[in-house]
Amino acid sequence: MDWAKRIGILALVLITIIFLATMLIIGTGNLILGDEQLFMALNPDHPTPFDEFFKFFSTWGPGKFGLGIYLYLGFALTLLFLSLKYSTLQPMRFMLLLIIVSFIVGYLGIYLSLNFIIGRDRPFMNPVLLSNANYLFTDPAEIFYGASFPSGHATTGFIFATPFVLLFKKYWIRLSAIIYGILMGYARIYLGGHFPLDVLVGSLVGILSVWVCYIIFKKYVVPRVPWFQYIEPEKMIEESDKYEEELEDKL
């Protein structure tokens, strides 16, 4: 594990501890009360100049009610299918399968189980918060489906973002992926769909699902399955550029 990944894990642990400690302090020792107070602080008065941005971001994001989840998975499955036919796409199999399997484990497995078992009400179902918070619904189904914990948008947002952090070396790609995941999580608080704790746990479920699948794939699957060739995306891009240069020289 390189130093960047170690720092990333340490930062994730520290952020989680600070986040939970903040909620405990705000709620004077009561985590749920602190979560509600933090929600009130992060949920702004509407309208604001960012309303349409976060509504669009949430609607097209990979959450339970977001259209993006079908687009992202459809795109990943299409590329995976095409990689069987076109050798130039073969190195992408690792990342594509990592996303798909992490989605099955993290979203269909862990997220839906927690969502069903815990069944926490959404913020707008709390009579006290209902009169003091602001809500911008992106899908009518959210009104009828009350389960809030954890956040599906945060879970799947980080399932799609984390592979870019793990597999790409350029910092602007990693940073863009992290910002995408954070914005997806905050959008749910901004719109009034989730509490901060929902978003935090959803983010952790997404990140850890990808991380565990990544370790298992790289250590146990790749060495034993030739079809499951692993080449880092940046190396794939470099090889593609080199191939094009050689082709131009021949022509």
Establish if 150 belongs to a structural domain.
Answer: yes
160 shares its domain with 196: yes
Q: Say whether pLDDT at 61 is over 70.
A: no
CA distance 187 to 121: 18
pLDDT value of position 67: 60
Res. 91 pLDDT band, cuts 50 70 90: low
Q: What is the CA radius of gyration of the chain?
A: 20
Mean of per-residue pLDDT scores for the chain: 75
**Cβ-based neighbour number of residue 146 at 10 Å:** 12
Establish if 103 belongs to a structural domain.
Answer: yes
In 3D space, the residue among 184, 176, 138 whose CA is nearest the CA of residue 158 turns out to be 184
Establish if 249 belongs to a structural domain.
Answer: no
The average pLDDT across 40-69 equals 74
Establish if 43 belongs to a structural domain.
Answer: no
Q: Say whether pLDDT at 200 is over 80.
A: yes
CA distance 92 to 90: 5
The average pLDDT across 164-168 equals 84
User: Helix H segments across the chain?
Assistant: 3-26, 31-42, 51-59, 68-83, 93-102, 112-118, 127-130, 141-144, 152-167, 171-190, 196-216, 233-250
88 shares its domain with 124: yes
Which pTM value belongs to this model?
0.78
55 shares its domain with 15: no
Domain count across the chain = 2
58 shares its domain with 19: no
pLDDT value of position 6: 63
25 shares its domain with 67: no
120 shares its domain with 62: yes
128 shares its domain with 182: yes
pLDDT value of position 231: 56
Q: What percentage of the chain has pLDDT greater than the value 90?
A: 2
What is the secondary structure of 17-68 as a DSSP string?
A: HHHHHHHHHHTTT-HHHHHHHHHHHHS--S--TTHHHHHHHHHTSSSTT-TH
Establish if 244 belongs to a structural domain.
Answer: no
Establish if 247 belongs to a structural domain.
Answer: no
27 shares its domain with 70: no
Enclosing domain of residue 6: 1-35
The average pLDDT across 204-215 equals 89
178 shares its domain with 108: yes
Establish if 31 belongs to a structural domain.
Answer: yes
31 shares its domain with 148: no
Establish if 63 belongs to a structural domain.
Answer: yes
